[in-house]
A and B are shown apart, each in its own frame.
Chain A
Amino acid sequence: MAEKEALTTKTADELVAEQTSTPLEKMEEPEPSEGKWEPRIVAFVCNWCTYLGMDLAGTSRMKYQPNVRVIKLPCSARIDPLFVIKAFENGADGVLVSGCHPGDCHYNTGNYHARRRWTVFRELFSFLGLDLQRLQFSWVSAAEGVKWVKVINEVTDKVRELGPNTDYHNLSR
């Protein structure tokens, strides 16, 4: 069967890297409304809560803005701040990081560790003069399809208001 040939020997890290490695010109543009610029949002989500919450939103036919590219990790604890940086380097205008509510982590304590990491990382981000409004965090459970839609729409609207992420786009490469 053709599927057998599709098995990959790549590691999860490499797959993530590929997914965030789309060059600026090649990322698919969402349908522009009246030819206006549309923000690119990257969402790093955990597999057990937020991803399922997203799924629920989808199967419930809830509509939300299509600007987001979702990258699924097993747990919010797996989200290395370096992934966030890579997302911005590769053209993201906004990044959302989302996991299970405290106490609900599938791996018991992953999200507690993640929370500490994010606390420190966003301080560094801000101290460097980068815009924290472009870096958002949420707890979205598997039952919170509605919350997912709300969060995505809010983040997308906010980033659209802020405009393209020139702080990163303008860095020489």
Chain B
Amino acid sequence: MEKELRELAKKLLESGEADVVIGYGRHHDERRRAPVFVTDPADVEKLIFDERCLNNLAGYLNKRYKLLGAEFSKPAVVLKGCDAKAAVGLIQEAQLDPGKVTLIGVCCEGVVPDYDSADGERPFKCEICDVHRPRNTAHVVGDLPEAPALTEYRPSERAAELAGKSREERYAFWREAFSKCIRCYACRAACPLCSCERCIADSNQPQWVPTSGHELGNWSWNIVRAFHLAGRCIGCGECQRACPVGIPLDLLNQHLRRVVADRFGYVAGLDPEARPPLTTYNEKDAEEFIR
């Protein structure tokens, strides 16, 4: 499959259809892979694909990163099925012009949870994956059959277990988790859908989200992050992997993905034409909680 990928990349670069192919390459630490930016057709050998290709490369297409138009005008991006969902999300929100990018889907049987994991270990997202064969990409490299699209969302055991605990236990869990937060915003940087050029957390007139690393500030940031991704998060889990202090951020996102699927029948990242659920409404939406 790597051969196919490299040939495709070479073709795109030589024909001028793409001025850069963003894919995965080796890292000097053998357990890791890292994003590579290939501009020269002779360098396509750098492109690899295996179960350690964890990054969601769709993030390089979002406006916050400022790649498009600045460094490159016609990027091609290698995307696993989950990553392609993020690209779909960006297209839905008019944050990405599909005409200006080439999406290269790669068939993927699953990746390891993080670089320290043993080969063959899988994270939760791979267990429920419906895009081993990516959707919505101009090219598909590799050959896996298409799976039926997710119509509902089953959260992980860990998320379900947490939801089943008492309120006090949940509060204690998140209090401990958020007290570790150092507000590095790696979660925000790693998320392809965190694309606001001026994030609310950086807004200082007024300062909505305190920048300090005390509990109040940390709760504020983490609540905003989770809420702003509601209905948009596609479940790549990069936020959690990027966190340098090990906060289980994806649990929040998982819970909200389930809420959105249950209440609005919506699963993110499948249809570029669909309206994200919080940008629209149904007159018959349930309102049992409203007096």
Contacts and interface: CB of A to CB of B under 8 A. Distances in A.
A47 to B, nearest CB: 18
B290 A137 contact: yes
B52 interface: no
A136 to B, nearest CB: 7
Given A85-B223, A173-B214, A151 B291 contact: yes
Contacts of B169: 129
Nearest to B264: A116
A8 interface: no
B215 A116 contact: no
Interface stretch (B74-82, B96-104, B235-243, B281-289): B281-289
B290 A139 contact: yes
Size class of the contact patch on chain B: 35 or more
B168 A129 contact: yes
B35 interface: no
Size band of the interface chain A makes with B:
35 or more
Given A120-B259, A127-B170, A115 B287 contact: yes
22 contacts: A81-B223, A86-B208, A89-B216, A113-B281, A115-B290, A116-B278, A118-B290, A120-B230, A120-B278, A124-B230, A127-B162, A127-B170, A128-B174, A129-B169, A129-B171, A129-B173, A129-B175, A130-B171, A138-B290, A171-B215, A171-B216, A171-B219
Interface of B: 162-163, 167-175, 200, 205-206, 208-210, 212, 214-217, 219-220, 223-224, 226-227, 230-231, 252, 255-256, 259-260, 263-264, 277-278, 280-283, 285-287, 289-291
